[in-house]
Structure 1
Amino acid sequence: MTPTPPRAARPRLLLVGAGHAHLHLIRHRHRLPGAEVTLVDPGGFWYSGRATGMLGAGHTPAEDRLDPTRLASHFGVQALRGRLAQLDPQARIARLEDGREFDFSLLSLNLGSRTPCPARRTPGPQVWAVKPIPRLLALRHRLEQEFSHGLSPRLVVVGGGPSGVEVACQLRQLARRHGARPEILLVSRGERLLAGAPAGAVRWLMRQLERREIRVRFGLDVNGHAAGGVTFATEANAWGEDSLQWLPADHVVHATGLAPPEVVERLGLPLIPGRGLAVEATLQSPGHPDIFAAGDCAAMLRHELPRLRIHGIRQAPVLLDNLVARLAGGPLAPYIPQRLSLAILDLGAGQGLAIRGRRWWGGRLALAWKRRLDRRFLRQYRT
């Protein structure tokens, strides 16, 4: 891509979304002294690393939330409340849902992700998704209310990945804090939990789930909701409406993976279907060298990255360097993903599970390490 800088006497850098990468940019705003920097974001930043811990009441909402507006003000970035609706890449205009328009010289998109799930049916169970994160807080409040009235709702968690496992464990933790004993069922489409994890780690986890009285069922593809529960199909019987089976549930939490926000379909930028905004190794949109994207909303052309917050964090310095270089007309650097990433699950009850490649360890030390990393990350952005 050409290194020609954008045409502007005082270029405007527009940051849309307050994800991990943009928090880093705001904190290092001093590296962009010649540009006007504006942040557009609809609300607070919720840290995904503490989200399930908040569900289990191990963290307060305040411990999981940052105020991007306050951070921006502290570092000299103009902050505006708003949600992106459309983009005109050629005219370099971003339109918000309330009708406001902003022109830009450089644009960076850090829009996060969502959890897709089947629509709720009436009558039917309450339906929740792990993202946006405030939904988990709403679920916690709802269950605390039910537990306080002596109810024991049937809880189904859909998804056998890290989020589903954490949610199931934290629901049990929340229930124990209130002396409640609801039924908790963890449902996985696959034939094992934590696909790709070491076998020893999965065996250790299964023992943990058994001790917490969390049932697990494999090979179930939950595809809808019905009165009193959810519908599912199995691989052996997956065709036609008469193949659907039923599981009882009062609350269903979907943790089946993350998808880019729906707005990416309306931006007129290259997409990778199901993965998000296409970006080069430099985090630039193909054919639009002054438009960048990072984090969960972005999909690298030559690397299919799992949606882990670590990539948004590690992309942040590269994004900042490349925005500085683009303004100065210098060469841009590629983001090179690390081959192995550390993931630590918060299982509640003082237990964690850390996995990096084929290495793993579970117990209190793993959780203590996670909490230390979380505190260190959040401390950078509290003002």
Structure 2
Amino acid sequence: MHQPPLPLSQDLVLIGGGHTHALVLRKWLMKPLPGARVTLINPGPTAPYSGMLPGFVAGHYTRDQLDIDLVRLATAANARLVIGSATGIDLASGLIHIDTGPPIGFDVAAVDVGITSDMPSLPGFAEHAVPAKPLGPFAARWDAFRNEDGPASVAIIGGGVAGAELSMAMAHALRQRNRPATIHVIDASKALSALPAKSAGALRDAMKAQGVVIHENVGITQIDGHDIHLDDGRTITAAFITGAAGARPYPWLAETGLDTHDGFLTVNDRLQTSDPRLFAVGDCAHMAHDPRPKAGVYAVRQAPVLHNNLIASLSGGPLKRYAPQKDYLKLISLGEKSALGDRFGLTFTGPWVWTWKDRIDRTFMDQFETLPKMARPPLPYPRAKGLREALGPKPLCGGCGAKVGRNALSNALATLAPPQRADITPLPGDDAALLTTGGTKQVFTTDHLRSFWGDPAVMARIATHHALGDIWAMGAEPQAATLSVTLPRLSETLAERTLTEILNTVEAVLRDTGADLVGGHSTIGDELTIGLALTGLCDHEPITLAGAQDGAALILTKPIGTGVIMAAAMSGQARGADVAGALDAMQQGQRSASFILRRCAQAMTDLTGFGLAGHTQNLCHASGLAASLTLDAIPLLAGARDLSDSGAHSSLYANNRAGFSNIPETPQSRLLFDPQTGGGLLAAVPKDDAKAVVQELQQAGYSDAAIIGHLHSGTPGQVSIA
């Protein structure tokens, strides 16, 4: 007998993708707790590893090597990743507020958001400098600066170990670029005072050998453009200014109502805050039972204890105690592939120390590259004929990649009788109809998506924009929508939380278009699906697939590649940054594009499951024309071409590919058959208007809008590559 999936009954939320949480997720994927839903909230799809930051700054590591890919990690751990920054915790309601969507409920939560080296009290810092932490924005700014040309000047505010490592790494990187550089380190007290005298002296010598100028026991009054004004009257000029002076907590932590110490969340020896439902680890936590300096080694060693205590809190087991070590090995990069080691009063330097540090860092990162994969269970035997073929060679995709194939759909639809009512006009080739009531023209359409991303709010946003595509493609104005939701088996509390996230998101998107959510239906099933039925008002004849003229240019408003990227994400092949880019594209609305195109479009459709080739063919059939597509002109999402080249594709690809034998098989041409979710508008416009229309679209925020081909006389429905 089939065992239904176990319902989820507890929400565990990890706030921040720091080292501890990354390790907890990796442990979780090896042995998840049945009934617990895990959510990770992080500002981006990746989290930089601080131990390799100096090596990245120096040019020894690439940005990809610096980052833990949280998309791949969360997917492997069956956790939902919410891309956004936490802005507050409401303890009374059990909600975590984020800046990118509705609040997220929790039963147990942990905070691992790190620290910032922002200096809000220093005049001009926010406008003219970049803090070294958080690492992500700093790494991006430095990457751009070091790749410039000409002489360079850098100032680092803060003369601790972090400032010393950055100064030598920057000096090395600029020297490798043949850029004459001046590096300043500024500290209000004695530089490197936290280190033993022998190690501090060795670091000072290494800094001076690389031309780093140390300014100590001097304060800064303000930063004005590239000028740093010191309290002794001197001015230091630098084109790149960063701050590495100490560790500061994020201000919202002190506003939670939890006990804090200098703004850091106070935790006990079980890593619990003053609210037993919440834990805190890493640099954002203050260990009241055994205070320690901010160092990544503590975060790493907190992971097993936090993992145990989270499971214990969710299941009712005993908590473990965390006891930090009294001393730890410090390995400090010296810019070149050399490092300094310090422990128990011993100091040692040389290339071999770098090799040691490099091995430790790479070993840490390798555990997030080589994630265990669950093998597909073998098919039962005996089994019905055709089961293997029906199952297909790969897991079923979500979104429009889960659509029924074109032939099966067309054949089924052909069995339907034409409308019997005079006020209903079917639109040939479109998945919508025109209703006429009292002289008012009303477009009616529906769309439904199988979930492919763990964040219900993101799925709701994508599903809503996707369903609105037909309304925008016909040049109509959205009016009203009903919502259909299938939730996986959840406890009553989790069902309410999830449904609230979905409803709030759908309502926000619709209201932004001038439409209202007026009702719907919900049910329980094996997985999340979201669908909408929509009406839109037309004060003119709707734009359909028919009506395109010979010689018209084809304009596409968004890049393609969502199908291959999300299919690759399911198997852990896609880069997290590329997945985030695809999600952003799917959440971009088409309202402005529709306003621009409706003035001149002869025919228009939205790009969905049948891919660019299939939808172009539909438009050609309806208009009695053929099309030539310019392959190199078709905009692609970042990562789509590389994934296609590797052989990745959606489960709907083979169906979409059938019937296009005239198009050669190449990694680029395969993307013509990639099913799109929340895809762009495809419009036929007069050739003479096309360039101006594309320019207007780009100015309106559709930066990838492009002319991708043209229509011409020929066999109706034939699509070829020019």
TM-score (norm 2): 0.48
Deviation at 1:135, TM superposition (A): 3.3
Q: Residue by residue, what CA displacement relative to the aligned partner does 1:285-326 show, whole Å, maximum 9, x if unpaired? A: 11x111111111111223332111111111111111111222
- Partners of 1:273 and 1:317 in 2: CA distance: 27
The unaligned stretches of length 5 or more in structure 1 are: 1-7, 235-243
Corresponding residue of 1:127: 129
Q: Residue by residue, what CA displacement relative to the aligned partner does 1:320-350 show, whole Å, maximum 9, x if unpaired? A: 1111222332321221110001111111212
Deviation at 1:9, TM superposition (A): 7.7
- Partners of 2:71 and 2:111 in 1: CA distance: 17
User: Could you say what secondary structure the match of 2:292 adopts?
Assistant: coil
Corresponding residue of 1:221: 219
Deviation at 1:64, TM superposition (A): 0.3
Corresponding residue of 1:310: 297
- Partners of 2:107 and 2:262 in 1: CA distance: 27
Q: How does 1:352-367 map to 2 (within 5 A)?
A: 352-367=339-354
- Partners of 1:334 and 1:203 in 2: CA distance: 38
Deviation at 1:263, TM superposition (A): 2.4
2:164 is aligned with 1:177: no
- Partners of 1:230 and 1:349 in 2: CA distance: 28
Q: Residue by residue, what CA displacement relative to the aligned partner does 1:144-193 show, whole Å, maximum 9, x if unpaired? A: 344x2x2x2332212111110011101111111111221112222222x3
Is the 8 Å Cα contact of residues 198 and 359 (structure 1) preserved in structure 2? Answer: no
User: Could you say what secondary structure the match of 2:356 adopts?
Assistant: helix
User: Could you say what secondary structure the match of 1:115 adopts?
Assistant: coil
User: Could you say what secondary structure the match of 1:302 adopts?
Assistant: coil
Q: Residue by residue, what CA displacement relative to the aligned partner does 1:242-284 show, whole Å, maximum 9, x if unpaired? A: xx5433333222110121222213323221124x111111111
2:310 is aligned with 1:323: yes
User: Could you say what secondary structure the match of 1:186 adopts?
Assistant: strand
Deviates more, 1:47-56 or 1:193-202: 193-202
Corresponding residue of 2:115: 113
Provide runs of 4+ in structure 1 moved above 3 Å: 118-122
2:342 is aligned with 1:350: no
- Partners of 2:123 and 2:314 in 1: CA distance: 47
Corresponding residue of 2:430: none
Corresponding residue of 2:249: 260
Deviation at 1:19, TM superposition (A): 0.9
- Partners of 2:127 and 2:278 in 1: CA distance: 42
Corresponding residue of 1:5: none
Q: How does 1:170-319 map to 2 (within 5 A)?
A: 170-191=169-190, 193-233=191-231, 245-274=234-263, 276-286=264-274, 288-319=275-306
User: Could you say what secondary structure the match of 2:92 adopts?
Assistant: coil
Deviates more, 1:260-269 or 1:66-75: 260-269
Deviates more, 1:310-319 or 1:208-217: 208-217
* Residue number among 334, 357, 362 corresponding to 1:370 in the alignment: 357
Instruction: Note closer, same or farther for the CA distance 1:101–1:196 as it changes in structure 2 (3 Å cut).
Output: closer
Instruction: Note closer, same or farther for the CA distance 1:99–1:158 as it changes in structure 2 (3 Å cut).
Output: same
- Partners of 2:310 and 2:140 in 1: CA distance: 37
- Partners of 1:377 and 1:323 in 2: CA distance: 22
The unaligned stretches of length 5 or more in structure 2 are: 1-6, 372-722
Deviation at 1:125, TM superposition (A): 9.0
Give identity over the alignment, percent.
27
Output the amino acid matched with 2:18.
Answer: G
Output the amino acid matched with 1:20.
Answer: H
* Residue number among 63, 66, 87 corresponding to 1:64 in the alignment: 66
Deviates more, 1:324-333 or 1:14-23: 324-333
Is the 8 Å Cα contact of residues 45 and 66 (structure 1) preserved in structure 2? Answer: yes
Is the 8 Å Cα contact of residues 48 and 67 (structure 2) preserved in structure 1? Answer: yes
Deviation at 1:34, TM superposition (A): 3.2
- Partners of 1:320 and 1:267 in 2: CA distance: 23
- Partners of 1:115 and 1:16 in 2: CA distance: 19
Instruction: Note closer, same or farther for the CA distance 1:268–1:359 as it changes in structure 2 (3 Å cut).
Output: same
Corresponding residue of 1:89: 91
Output the amino acid matched with 1:233.
Answer: D
Is the 8 Å Cα contact of residues 128 and 226 (structure 2) preserved in structure 1? Answer: no
Aligned pairs, number: 360
- Partners of 1:11 and 1:73 in 2: CA distance: 19
Output the amino acid matched with 2:133.
Answer: K
Q: Residue by residue, what CA displacement relative to the aligned partner does 1:85-138 show, whole Å, maximum 9, x if unpaired? A: 22221221222223412221111111111112256749x994122112133333
Corresponding residue of 1:23: 22
Corresponding residue of 2:11: 12
Instruction: Note closer, same or farther for the CA distance 1:228–1:289 as it changes in structure 2 (3 Å cut).
Output: closer
Output the amino acid matched with 1:157.
Answer: I
- Partners of 1:198 and 1:101 in 2: CA distance: 47
Corresponding residue of 1:332: 319
Output the amino acid matched with 1:153.
Answer: A
Is the 8 Å Cα contact of residues 88 and 98 (structure 2) preserved in structure 1? Answer: yes
Is the 8 Å Cα contact of residues 89 and 97 (structure 2) preserved in structure 1? Answer: yes
- Partners of 2:317 and 2:250 in 1: CA distance: 32
Structure with larger RCO (C-alpha < 8 A, sep 6+): 1
Q: How does 1:116-155 map to 2 (within 5 A)?
A: 116-118=118-120, 121=124, 126-146=128-148, 148=149, 150=150, 152-155=151-154
